[in-house]
């Protein structure tokens, strides 16, 4: 059997390399899309909080912390029982997320909390006929309670990696456009450089199938192995939220992987059909 000409072998090698690069770019594009739709999306985060009972768990955690503060300040144990509600926590968290992703910082507005606390103290003082109230001590108590409230609602990842996350979010549209442009250019080159168009379809099919398999590896491993549940977080609310958000992100990646798989399979059958027409 005669060997293929050197030029032909080099051209095939170049096409294989382009197919590999296309597969790699599709892999990166998938994760960039999922990151944009999840980690960099305040609506996704807020929805995950709702679905994981974050606000119910967070209410219990804040109540415990405030009750400990109340013991030290001489307040009755029942003072904080129904003081914080899910609606207040939900509204303040929503504002916190919106402001954070708008680049306005990670400061949580505790104005409504302090106002409610101040009114509750007035009612408590009136009910217990307390006449001697030190204004400075009262102000310190309110500020300390507001500090506990802010710290409880804060998401550690946002405060620690704030600049990195916001910078990555701002660059992500350019990254997505860049990946789409690279994919378009590679597909264009494959079609223009191949006299037989079915070969270009074959290379693109291989790239899509390779990207489908590679993108599915990590989420499948994380979901099956249960590694996500091994994270150590002191807050039950944050733990449940993290598990829910991470699991949903993994599922989103798997859907993208399934899409690439279907595209790859579809292109493969198209290649076979085109090949049969050429060879017949």
DSSP 66-109: HHHHHHHHT--GGGGTTTS-HHHHHHHHHHHHHHHHTTS-S---
**% pLDDT > 70, the chain:** 98
Return d(Cα 149, Cα 113) in angstroms, integer.
8
Quick one: pLDDT at residue 129?
A: 79
> Would you call 110 exposed, middle or buried from its count of C-beta atoms within 10 A (0-12, 13-18, 19+)?
buried
The span from the CA of 236 to the CA of 32, in Å, is 29
- Which of 158 and 40 is assigned the larger pLDDT? 40
pLDDT confidence of 166, banded at 50, 70, 90? confident
Report how far residue 38's alpha carbon sits from residue 31's, in angstroms, rounded to the nearest whole number: 10
Q: Per residue in 37-61, pLDDT tens?
A: 998 998 999 999 999 999 999 999 9
**Which are the contacts of 231, defined by CB distance < 8 A and separation ≥ 6?**
239, 242, 243
Q: Which residue, 250, 189, 182, is CA-closest to 216?
A: 250
pLDDT > 90? residue 21: yes
Give CA separation, 6 vs 9, 15, 107, 247, in Å: 5, 14, 65, 49
Specify the pLDDT at position 31: 95
The yes-or-no verdict on residue 2 having pLDDT over 50 is no
C-alpha to C-alpha distance for 239 and 229, rounded to whole angstroms: 8
Residues 6+ apart with CB under 8 A from 130: 124
Judged against a pLDDT cut of 50, whether residue 19 lies above it is answered with yes
Whether residue 145 contacts residue 68, with contact meaning beta carbons closer than 8 Å, is answered with no
CA 67 to chain centre: 33
| Interatomic CA distance for residues 53 and 125, integer angstroms | 34
Q: Which residues contact 89 (CB under 8 A, 6 or more apart)?
A: 55, 58, 59, 62, 153
The pTM for the full model equals 0.85
Name every residue whose Cβ is closer than 8 Å to that of residue 215 and which is 6 or more positions away in sequence: 26, 27, 30, 31, 253, 256, 257, 260
pLDDT at 135: 79
pLDDT of residue 160: 74
Instruction: Please check the confidence at residue 279 and state whether its pLDDT lies above 80.
Output: no
If you average pLDDT over every residue of the chain, what do you get? 87
CA proximity to 89, closest of 159, 166, 148 = 148
Helix axes 236-279, 197-225, angle to 10 degrees: 160
* Least trusted range by pLDDT, from 95-109, 178-192, 193-207, 209-223: 95-109
67-97 burial: b if 16+ Cβ within 10 Å, else e: bebbeeeebeeebbeebbeeebbbebbeebb
Q: What is the per-residue pLDDT for 101? A: 85
For 55, the enclosing helix (H) or strand (E) is helix 54-73
Calpha distance 118→116 (Å, rounded): 5
Percent of the chain residues past pLDDT 90, beyond the cut = 44
The residue that leads in pLDDT, 7 or 58, is: 58
Confidence class for position 280, pLDDT limits 50, 70, 90: low
State residue 1's pLDDT score: 45
3-state secondary structure of 195: coil
Question: Distance of CA 142 to CAs 59, 83, 119, Å?
Answer: 18, 13, 11
Report the pLDDT averaged over residues 71-96.
82
């Amino acid at each position: 059997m005669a060997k293929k000409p050197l030029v032909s072998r080099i051209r095939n090698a170049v096409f294989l390399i382009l197919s590999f690069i296309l597969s790699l770019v599709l892999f990166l594009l998938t994760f960039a899309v999922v990151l944009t739709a999840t980690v960099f999306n305040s609506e996704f985060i807020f929805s995950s909080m709702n679905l994981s009972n974050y606000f119910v768990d967070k209410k219990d955690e804040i109540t415990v912390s405030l009750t400990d503060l109340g013991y030290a300040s001489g307040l009755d144990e029942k003072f904080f029982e129904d003081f914080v509600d899910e609606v207040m926590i939900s509204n303040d968290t929503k504002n916190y997320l919106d402001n954070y992703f708008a680049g306005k910082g990670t400061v949580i507005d505790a104005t409504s909390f302090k106002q409610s606390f101040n009114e509750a103290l007035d009612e408590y003082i009136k009910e217990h006929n307390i006449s001697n109230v030190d204004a400075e001590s009262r102000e310190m108590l309110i500020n300390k309670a507001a500090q506990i409230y802010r710290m409880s609602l804060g998401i550690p990842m946002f405060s620690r990696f704030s600049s990195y996350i916001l910078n990555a979010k701002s660059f992500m549209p350019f990254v997505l456009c860049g990946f789409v442009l690279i994919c378009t250019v590679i597909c264009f080159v494959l079609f223009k450089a191949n006299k037989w168009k079915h070969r270009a379809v074959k290379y693109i099919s291989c790239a899509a199938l390779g990207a489908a398999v590679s993108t599915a590896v990590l989420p499948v491993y994380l979901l099956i192995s249960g590694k996500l549940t091994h994270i150590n977080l002191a807050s039950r609310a944050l733990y449940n939220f993290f598990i829910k958000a991470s699991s949903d992100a993994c599922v989103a990646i798997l859907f993208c992987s399934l899409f690439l798989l279907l595209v790859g399979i579809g292109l493969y059958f198209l290649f076979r059909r085109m090949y049969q027409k050429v060879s017949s």
